[in-house]
Every structure is written in structure tokens, then in C-alpha cells.
Structure 1
Amino acid sequence: MDSAIQLIVFLGLTALVGYLTYRKCAEAGPRGEGAKDYFLAGGGLSWVFIAGSITLTNLSTDQLVGMNGNQMALLALWELCGFVGLIILAKVFVPIYYKYNCTTTTELLERRYNSKHIRATVGTLFLLGNIFIYLPAMLYGGALFMQTMFNVEIGLMPIAIMFAVVGSAYAIFGGLRAVAVSDTFSGVGLLLMAVLIVYLSLNAIDFDFSGIPEERLTLIGGPDSPIPWPTLLTGMLFIQIYYWSTNQTITQRAMAAENVKEAQKGVLAAACIRILIVPAIVIIPGIVSYKLYGDIGDQAYGRIVGDLLPSYLSGAFAAVMAAAVLTSFNSVLNSSAALYVCDIHQKYFNPEPNVKRLNNVVSISFVLIAILLVPAFATADSLINLLQQLNGLLSMPILSAFITGLMFRNVRAESVILSVVFGTALYGYFTFGTAPFGLHFIHLMAITLIACVVFALAVNRIVFKNKAVFVAFKKDQNDELKTATESN
């Protein structure tokens, strides 16, 4: 009987989100057929939906399962530093993207370097990360959670395929508007249920953390911890700038508002959610699960939810968790299609394609690749640590292209393209070869970033005989940004 009720609640809430999304999108009127209509919702997102979509795009099972799977407080540092990253997005990058009327973040690079090739290069790197890292990781994390929570005999692949099919439907048929609206509706339910899990977890141990090793409760990581405290002074800030300010999946929402002020309101609202709610929901259940069950890794969140949540609410929780998987998956899928269509196809194959048809074809292709890669993530010891480590292959070389373009003038695009390739190879050597002096991968990210910028400037000077001009913080540039903000 309980199983039947759980299933009915699950299907009912999932259908309700779909219906509310359909109604809200219908109120907005017919959608156009251009790239901005599909990928920026025609510039019609309000700050509420920007905040909701940014929050739930980031907060999926790879966060809830992966961070709680570490079963230590230290992982909250990712979220606390994420607050800083969102502030930088709102105050620094949003005005720049609106100034250049960007559809993708990589369009900024094309404008700054006057080259479509640098845009295509970085867009391709974003695509590789989305297709080979983020999409399959989301499917795996969602499938593992459902399998653990309900203790079912169904394999990971059938559950992952279900998520892939349903999630891609939003991105393919509804575009960014449907994605953002469903994110927001689902996000309200997810945050409420996640906070309830925090309370139930604390209540299960009578709010008593005694017996839990000190290293699992501290926010000051030692040399052998997942986040040694000195990394907060090196690569951590750069990781946050990359993820929140240049990553197409996140910034696409901020670029879909009517103007700069509306976009900034949405980003700042997401920052408030990030600092006030998210740290607790991604660490406390995991720490409590260590006291209750011991070191059980990525199974921690699903098990504690299954054990502590009343049966009459488990169907509701399954629905919001499924929504989190679906919305994060369709967000990354939609941004991936935008990168391919705008950065590659329109630039090299057809400047005026049938966006609807092309979006459908590339989205389905990306989904099939992601499904095939799900088993590879099942072999990881820690999902979140694996994601952060792999992310370094692309994040710092990409960020270096933005930093060089914004801080310097008279830099050839070719030198930056070479520096991006150099940085990917360098970090790959650090990660899969020998890390110098045994440095943590977050330190290595900072080293990679600096090396990329220096490499680009050196190649620009030595090979192309150009002298870069430092322009960051100069009055004329600040005036340009101020004018762009006021005009929007």
C-alpha cells in the first residue's frame, strides 16, 4: 500500500510541475524560431525565474549525493565560495555580457579578440565537458539516489535512461523558458524537502555530534583533506569565477533577462539562497549518516532519506529529486545545444539554420552519448571529487581566455588558442602524471591558470610580435561598463 501511495504522489507531483510549466510558458505567448528565442527565452525571464533556474541547475543529485557522500563539513566551502562567485557574476560579468549582447559566453571572446576561432575553440571545450562529464554524471547521480532510496532491484541504466528521455523533452520542445520555469517550480519543492531532511537528520542523533571524528566537522582542512585550507587562497576563487561567471549553463540564465538590472536581481537572489540554505543541505545529512552508518560514501544521502523520511512523504521527495535531476540535465543539454548552434554551426556551416530542427538533432545526439557514459561514473570512489578534478582539464584554460581578453588588448586570438591547448595538456599532466611537490589539484588549477595567461602573452609577443596592453581597471573601460549598465 505504501509503495502505491509513493508512486501516486511521485507521478502526481511530476505531472503537476509539467502542467504548471506548460501553463506559464503558454502565458508568454508563441515562441519565435531564432537562436535567442530558443536559448535565451527571447530575453523575457524575470528575476524570480533566473534565481530559481540558477539554483536548481546547480543543485542536482551530483551535489546532494556527491557532497553528502564525503560525509564531512569541509565540502560546505564549495557553496560558501560559490556565494562570492555569484556576486562576481552579478557585478562584473553580467554588465559585460549585456554590453556585447551575447547569446553565449563565448561570444564575448569573439568580440574581444575579433575572431570566431577562439569562440569555437572554447565553445568546443565547454561542449566536451558537458557531454563527457556533466550530463552522464547527472544521470548516474540521479539513478544511484533513486536506487538507494527505494532499495529497488532495477539497474542504474534503466533509471538513467528514464531521466534522459524525460529531461531532454523539456530542452528539446520547450527551450530555455520551459527549462527555467520548471527549474523554479521544482526548486521550491526541493529546497523545502531538503531542509526537512536536515531537521530529521539532526533529530535522529538528538542534535548530538559527539563520536564523529573532528576532521569530519571542521571547516579548516588539513594537508590530506579534500580541501586543504590554503587552497582557499589559490585556485578556489578561480574555480568559482569560472563556474558562475563563464560557464554557459549558469550564465545563460542571467543573459535571458530583459535588462541588466533584472538579471542582477536574479543572480543576487540566487546568491542569498546559496549562502543561507545550500551549505546545510549538502553536508549535514552526510555527517549524520556517518554517525549512523559509518563511512558509506555516495550511498549516504539516499540511505538516510530512505530511513528517516516518513513513507507518506517519500513519494514527494522522490518527485522533487527527480525534478532536480531533470532540470539540471535539461539545463546542461539546452546550453550544449546553444554552444553548438551559435558557436560552431552558424559560424562554419550555415549562418541561418533551422534552429528548431538543428536543436533537436544535436540534443538527441548528446543524450545518447551521455547514456553510454553512465557506467564509467559508477566506478568512481567519490562522485563530487571526480567531477571537480576532471573539471580542471577545461576550467582553467577556458578562464584564462576570458581573463586575458578582458585584462589585455592587442592579443592575437591564435596565441590564446595555443594557450588553451597548452593549459589542458599541462593540467592533464599534473592530474594523470606527476603533481609537482605533491600539490593539491586546486593549487594546480591556479598554477595552470597563471601559466596559460603567461603563455598566451609570451606567444603573442615572441611569435606574433604584438605587445599586449594592460587595460583592466582603466577609467575608459569602467566607464564603458557603467554606461552599459545604465543603458539597460
Structure 2
Amino acid sequence: MSEPPHYELATIDLVLIGVYFLVVLGIGIRLAGKNHSAEDYFLAGRGMIWPLIGVSLFASNISSTTLIGLAGDAYDKGISVFNYEWMASVVLVIFAFFILPFILRSQVFTLPEFLEKRFDGRLRLYFSGLTLFLNIIVDTAGSLFAGALLMKLVFPELDIAVTIAVLAVVAGLYTIAGGLAAVIYTDALQTILLLIGAVVISVTAFQEVGGWSGMTEGIDSAQLSLIRPLGDPGVPWLGLLTGVPLLGFYFWCTNQFMAQRVLSAKNVNHGRWGVIFAAFLKLPVLFLMVLPGTMAIHLFPGLPDPNLVYPTLMFELLPAGLLGLVMAGFVAALMSQIDSTLNAASTLVTMDFVRRWKPDLDGATLMKVGRWVTGGFMVLAALWAPMIENFASLFQYLQMVLSYTVPPIVAAYVAGAFWKGANARGAWMGVLWGTGAGLVLFLFVGVTGWIDLHFLYVGPILFVISMAVLVIVSRSGPPPTEEKQALVWTKEFYRAESRELAEMPWWQSYRLWSVLLLISTGALVWVFA
């Protein structure tokens, strides 16, 4: 196996990257003085409009881990990895229709807090603790590791742990200072840089490989197909129908670091428009971030690690100056997910634990606590990130961890959103049984390998176990109170909403844009099926 390549940055590249760091730090410092309460710091005063929400959702999702993971998986297994991206459109439409309005109208700070309103405090504490674990071990650590991979190509003599520590400090500083507002405004800048970089790399690689015919020449047609057979190691079709939607539902509908942007919306309409806008932005990802991995099969065969595909495309194809701009975009993507997860983790600890134990603390004190917590989690993520080097694929690491941990919570959210009979004891027992089953499966599948089971099948199995226990226990106990049942979607709610939409201009209807989104998604999947 060959050694990873080594590259050098020109002076102009280093200057552009340095300017970017100064700009985002300046934004954080400038916004720090505008935070006067916990609502200002954690939810940007609940005044965000839909373009910023949509762009921020996209930027935090298409992070450096996704850039590296999508291109690497396309290089190694084929474009079926894009199934995670287009499925987001379906999931976000479901979120906008059935769940988002109840979350926003409940005026919660966190998604675990919403679970308490629907069920009880046990689920809130459990889910908050689980989300904290996933935010640090999966999301923040994964982004730090992805950034360190890129930096190691430029500075191979640097220890990966030291590189991760430096990246963590930079991202943590402006997040600590500016809170969610700093995260969202820097995300807007980061998205522009990210898309410029992705477009330039995609177009350049397409030209270098000789166009569409050059890209497909000698490539197994299976690598250019989204719908794969049951035995496919990447995304088998049954896993696409069952496992991918579960992971998508967790990520977009219940994950605090994504949903926090929606919680900052000035009203329900802006929240809905924002998530639909983010879903539209996901569709070009196939051409900008997945297919370049396929092109790299021709351009750079035999890379020792799939995680090196996207960084290699950057350094090999881009000239000085432009490379610095694209590097800034890549670092922007890195910072976007790190700042998001750090802010979300800080919100969870402060609002779900500290405020619960110290309800008399005022907003300014809670904001100070949140800043200290952000710094602490920044350190923890930096310590764990080097461990990810032991996994074969960064994207595989991210999806595997989620498959074993999140299905019980997804079951609780789904039952709570659509079934009035789901009660607190049923939801709690469903989570306990599902979590226990997840530990058993992880032992037999993930650790010992005694059972050969694709991770996309693990999630549905745990979901069914959790849901079955939830239904059985709920039916054997008293129904929830009317206050809790009011958080369940009903036909009456739909009719009332239809009357409200009838009074709005047609182009403001989220339902219309949802239909157009689903049609666009279906057409794209059909072409590459």
C-alpha cells in the first residue's frame, strides 16, 4: 500500500485561510455583546428567518465529515451513499408537515425538553444524555478528525492529536463568544465558500476525466446506481427503505444540533420554509460531492485510504490562490459542524440539567454556564477524535454508531407524534428494551462479529422492538392527559391549518414547495436508479 501524498500551500493560500479564521472569530466577538439572556445565546432570540435557517441546516449537515465521507464512499463502493442525502428530502417534508409546528409552539429550548412535555422527565434526561454522547463522540469528533486528515496532507510532521486540538480551539472560541447567532451567521459565509469550492472541484474533475463518457468508462454500472441489491456492502435496497429513513429521522427531526436552528425560527412558517429550502440544497450534492469520488477512481487510482479522496482532489486539481479559497471552504465546513454541535451540547447541559436542578438561575447566569460547558466539550471532543483513525471509513463510523443507539428514541418520537395512546411508561419501557437490544446486537455484530448483519438492518430491528414494547405497555396503562395528547398530529389540526393557508399567497404555501421538492427528488433518483 502506498504512502499518503504530501502537499504544500502557497503563501496566498495560507493568507486566505488566515483571513477566513479572523473573519469568523470577529463575527463571534461582535455578536457576543448582543447576547443578554439564555434565549439570545442558545436560540438567537427566536428571531431567525427562513433563508438563514435553511443555509445553516445545509452547512451543518454538509460538513467536512460529509465531504470526505461521501467522496470516499463513492470511490470505494459507489454512488449509493447519496441515498442518505436524497432521503433527507422525504424526512424533512414529514418533519415540516407533522412535527415541526408542535415543537415550535411548545416554546422549548431542546428536543429532549419536548419529549418531557409529550411523555415525562425520564425520557428527557435519557435522550439529553444520549444526544450529548453522540454530539461529542460522533459529530464533533468526526469533524475534528476530518479536518486533521486534511491538515496532515499539508503538514505531515504534525501529530494528528495536536492538529485536532488547534482546530477545536478555533471553532470553540467564536461559538463560546457568540452563541447560536454566531453559528448561524458564520454558517451563511461558510456555505458560500463551501459551494464555490465544491463547484470548482466538480467541474475541474469532470473536465480532467473527459466528461461523462470518460467518467463511466471501465466503471461497473453498479457503482453508478442508487438502488442496490440486498447483498450490497454499501446501501442495500432493503436498508434504503428501512434503515436510512430511521437514521435520517433522528438526524433531521430529533438531533439537537440540527433542530436548534429550527427552534430559533421567528414563527412556524419560517421554520417550515427553512427546512424545505435546506432539502432543496441537498439535491445538487450528488454532482458536487458524490460523483467527484467516482471521477477520482480514474484520476487517482490506488489511494491508500478512501478518506483521502476529497483532499487529494483539492490539492491535485486546484491552482494556488484558488486552492486557498477552497481550503477555506473546507475549513468552513469543518467549523460549521463543530460550532453547531458544541452549541447544541452546551444548550442540552444548561437547559436540561443545570436549569432543572437550579431553576432559580437567571438567563445571564445560564448563558455563562453555557459558555463554560462549550469549552469543556471542546476538550472532550479533541481527546476522542484521534480514536476514529481506527475505523475503516469515516462515514461508516458515523452511520454505525447511530444505527445502534438512536432507533429507540425515534420510536418514541414517532409514536408520540401520531398516536394519542402512547403514554410515558410505554415510551420509557420501549427505550429501555430497545437500548438493551442495541447493546446485545452491538456485542454480537459489531464487536465479536458472530452475527453478520449490515448496520442498516440493525436500526429497523431495534425500532420494531422498541415500538412493540411501547404499544404493549401503553395499552396496558392509562392514556396520557389531554395536555399531552394536544401535541399529537390529527386530521382536525390539518383542516385548521388548511384554512390558514387558504388566506396566504399561493407561493407561501409550504405544501406546494414540499410537492415540488418530492417531484424533483423522485426524478433524480429515477435517473440514477
The alignment's TM-score, normalised by the length of structure 1, stands at 0.91
Q: 2:326 maps to what in 1? A: 317
Structure 1 position 415 matched with structure 2 position 426:
yes
Q: Deviations over 1:285-310 (max 9, x none)?
A: 21111222225311111112111111
Structure 1 position 58 matched with structure 2 position 65:
no
Match of 2:311 among 302, 307, 324: 302
State the shift of 1:476 in Å.
Answer: 3.9
Query: Hey, what's the Cα distance between the residues in 2 that align with 1:486 and 1:428?
Result: 49
State the one-letter code of the partner of 1:326.
Answer: M
| Distance change >3 Å, CA 142–CA 31, structure 1 → 2 | same
Structure 1 position 450 matched with structure 2 position 469:
no
8 Å CA contact 1:118–1:414 kept in 2: the answer is: no
8 Å CA contact 1:460–1:468 kept in 2: the answer is: no
State the shift of 1:64 in Å.
Answer: 0.6
Q: 1:441 maps to what in 2? A: 455
Tell me the secondary structure at the aligned position of residue 12 of structure 1.
helix
State the shift of 1:18 in Å.
Answer: 4.1
State the one-letter code of the partner of 1:253.
Answer: R
Q: 1:239 maps to what in 2? A: 247
State the shift of 1:480 in Å.
Answer: 7.1
Query: Hey, what's the Cα distance between the residues in 2 that align with 1:103 and 1:444?
Result: 31
State the one-letter code of the partner of 2:402.
Answer: N
The within-5 A match list for 1:217-236 is 217-222=224-229, 223-236=231-244
The within-5 A match list for 1:349-428 is 349-352=358-361, 354-428=365-439
Q: 1:466 maps to what in 2? A: 478
Structure 1 position 132 matched with structure 2 position 148:
no
Q: 2:344 maps to what in 1? A: 335
Match of 2:70 among 67, 72, 82: 67
Q: Deviations over 1:339-370 (max 9, x none)?
A: 11111221234452511221122112211111
State the one-letter code of the partner of 1:68.
Answer: A
Match of 1:153 among 145, 153, 157: 157
Query: Hey, what's the Cα distance between the residues in 2 that align with 1:83 and 1:243?
Result: 12
State the one-letter code of the partner of 1:45.
Answer: M
State the shift of 1:98 in Å.
Answer: 1.6
8 Å CA contact 2:103–2:114 kept in 1: the answer is: yes
8 Å CA contact 1:423–1:451 kept in 2: the answer is: yes
The within-5 A match list for 1:260-271 is 260-271=268-279
8 Å CA contact 1:345–1:351 kept in 2: the answer is: no
Q: Deviations over 1:351-402 (max 9, x none)?
A: 5251122112211221111111112101110110111010122221111121
Q: 1:8 maps to what in 2? A: 15
| Distance change >3 Å, CA 103–CA 20, structure 1 → 2 | closer
State the shift of 1:487 in Å.
Answer: 12
Structure 1 position 144 matched with structure 2 position 149:
yes
State the shift of 1:444 in Å.
Answer: 2.2
8 Å CA contact 1:21–1:181 kept in 2: the answer is: no
Query: Hey, what's the Cα distance between the residues in 1 that align with 2:501 and 2:101?
Result: 6
Q: 2:260 maps to what in 1? A: 252
Q: Deviations over 1:160-216 (max 9, x none)?
A: 111100111122110100100000111111111111101111111111121223332
Q: Which runs of 5+ in 2 are unaligned?
A: 1-7, 505-529
State the shift of 1:331 in Å.
Answer: 0.4
Query: Hey, what's the Cα distance between the residues in 2 that align with 1:121 and 1:399?
Result: 13
Q: 1:98 maps to what in 2? A: 104
8 Å CA contact 2:95–2:253 kept in 1: the answer is: yes
Between 452-461 and 226-235, report the one with greater CA deviation. Answer: 452-461
Tell me the secondary structure at the aligned position of residue 390 of structure 2.
coil
State the shift of 1:484 in Å.
Answer: 9.7
RMSD of the alignment, in Å? 2.7
The within-5 A match list for 1:113-124 is 113=119, 115-124=120-129
Query: Hey, what's the Cα distance between the residues in 2 that align with 1:473 and 1:421?
Result: 25
State the one-letter code of the partner of 1:329.
Answer: I
State the one-letter code of the partner of 2:68.
Answer: V
| Distance change >3 Å, CA 2–CA 442, structure 1 → 2 | closer
8 Å CA contact 2:79–2:224 kept in 1: the answer is: yes
Tell me the secondary structure at the aligned position of residue 401 of structure 1.
helix
Aligned length: 479
Query: Hey, what's the Cα distance between the residues in 2 that align with 1:291 and 1:352?
Result: 60
State, as a whole percentage, how many aligned pairs show the same letter.
27
State the shift of 1:436 in Å.
Answer: 10
Query: Hey, what's the Cα distance between the residues in 2 that align with 1:404 and 1:484?
Result: 27
Q: Deviations over 1:250-293 (max 9, x none)?
A: 11101111111112222121111111x22222212211112222
| Distance change >3 Å, CA 138–CA 487, structure 1 → 2 | farther
8 Å CA contact 1:52–1:187 kept in 2: the answer is: yes
State the shift of 1:63 in Å.
Answer: 0.3
Query: Hey, what's the Cα distance between the residues in 2 that align with 1:382 and 1:215?
Result: 20
| Distance change >3 Å, CA 2–CA 90, structure 1 → 2 | same
The within-5 A match list for 1:152-301 is 152-207=156-211, 208-209=214-215, 210-222=217-229, 223-275=231-283, 277-296=284-303, 297-301=306-310
8 Å CA contact 1:68–1:282 kept in 2: the answer is: yes
The alignment's TM-score, normalised by the length of structure 2, stands at 0.84
Q: Which runs of 5+ in 1 are unaligned?
A: none
Query: Hey, what's the Cα distance between the residues in 2 that align with 1:125 and 1:483?
Result: 39
